[in-house]
Amino acid sequence: MRSPFAYVSRPGPLQAASPAAAVAFLGALVAVAFLYSSPLVLVAAGAAVALAGRLAGAWAAVRAAIRLGLAIALPIVVVNALVVNRGETVLARLGDWPLLGQVDVTAEALADGAVFGLRAIVVMIAFAVYSACVDPDRVLRALRPLAGRSALTATLVSRLVPVAAADAARLRDAARLRGPAAAAVGRAPLARRLLAGSLDRAVDVAATLELRGYSLESRRAPRPPSVREKTRHSSSLRRRRSRYDRRFYLAGALVLAGAIAGKLLGADGFHAYPTIRLGLEPTTIALSALLVLSGLTPYRRKPRRQPAASSRSTGRRRPNGGRLRPAGPVVRPSPPRGPGAAPARRAPGTAVLETPRV
- Kindly state whether residue 190 participates in binding another protein, applying the rule CB under 8 A: yes
Are 40 and 269 spatial neighbours (Cβ–Cβ below 8 Å)?
no
Beta strands in 293-342 (DSSP E): 330-332
- Kindly state whether residue 183 participates in binding another protein, applying the rule CB under 8 A: yes
* Residues binding another protein: number (CB under 8 A): 69
Are 19 and 243 spatial neighbours (Cβ–Cβ below 8 Å)?
no
Among 174, 253, 260, 330, binds another protein (CB under 8 A): 174
Our CB check for another protein shows the closer of 85 and 155 to be 155
* Whether the bond into 75 is cis, omega within 30 of 0: no
Residues numbered 199-218 forming contacts with another protein, rule: CB under 8 A: 201, 204-217
Instruction: Pick the piece of the chain touching another protein (CB under 8 A) from 38-46, 83-91, 168-176, 272-280.
Output: 168-176
Query: Residue 130: phi, psi to the nearest 5?
Result: -60, -45
Q: For residue 102, with 0-12 CB atoms within 10 Å meaning exposed, 13-18 middle and 19 or more buried, which class applies?
A: exposed
Are 160 and 202 spatial neighbours (Cβ–Cβ below 8 Å)?
yes
Our CB check for another protein shows the closer of 183 and 347 to be 183
- Kindly state whether residue 2 participates in binding another protein, applying the rule CB under 8 A: yes
3-class state of residue 354 by DSSP: strand
Instruction: Pick the piece of the chain touching another protein (CB under 8 A) from 18-26, 222-230, 258-266, 339-347.
Output: 222-230
Are 190 and 205 spatial neighbours (Cβ–Cβ below 8 Å)?
no
Nearby residues of 240 by Cβ (< 8 Å), 6 or more positions away: 18
Residues facing 331 on adjacent strands: 353
Q: How far is the CB of 255 from another protein (least distance, A)?
A: 27
Are 269 and 281 spatial neighbours (Cβ–Cβ below 8 Å)?
yes
- Kindly state whether residue 150 participates in binding another protein, applying the rule CB under 8 A: no
Our CB check for another protein shows the closer of 146 and 221 to be 221
How many of the other CB atoms lie within 10 Å of CB of 302?
A: 5
Alpha helices in the chain (DSSP H): 13-16, 19-35, 39-55, 59-83, 107-133, 136-143, 148-176, 187-212, 227-232, 235-239, 245-264, 282-294
Our CB check for another protein shows the closer of 93 and 239 to be 239
Q: How far is the CB of 297 from another protein (least distance, A)?
A: 21
- Kindly state whether residue 242 participates in binding another protein, applying the rule CB under 8 A: no
DSSP 2-15: --TTS----SSHHH
Our CB check for another protein shows the closer of 186 and 333 to be 186
Instruction: Pick the piece of the chain touching another protein (CB under 8 A) from 28-36, 160-168, 266-274, 279-287.
Output: 160-168
Cα–Cα distances in angstroms (integers) from residue 259 to residues 27, 132, 163, 176, 226, in the given order: 13, 26, 40, 53, 48
- Kindly state whether residue 354 participates in binding another protein, applying the rule CB under 8 A: no
Among 149, 233, 241, 316, binds another protein (CB under 8 A): 233
- Kindly state whether residue 155 participates in binding another protein, applying the rule CB under 8 A: yes
- Kindly state whether residue 227 participates in binding another protein, applying the rule CB under 8 A: no
Are 37 and 279 spatial neighbours (Cβ–Cβ below 8 Å)?
no
- Kindly state whether residue 223 participates in binding another protein, applying the rule CB under 8 A: yes
- Kindly state whether residue 141 participates in binding another protein, applying the rule CB under 8 A: yes
- Kindly state whether residue 59 participates in binding another protein, applying the rule CB under 8 A: yes
Among 95, 98, 145, 179, binds another protein (CB under 8 A): 179
- Kindly state whether residue 192 participates in binding another protein, applying the rule CB under 8 A: yes
What does the binding site for another protein look like in residue numbers (CB under 8 A)? 2, 4, 6-9, 57, 59-60, 135-138, 141, 144, 155-156, 158-159, 162-163, 166, 170-171, 173-183, 185, 189-190, 192-193, 201, 204-217, 220-226, 229-230, 232-233, 237-238, 240
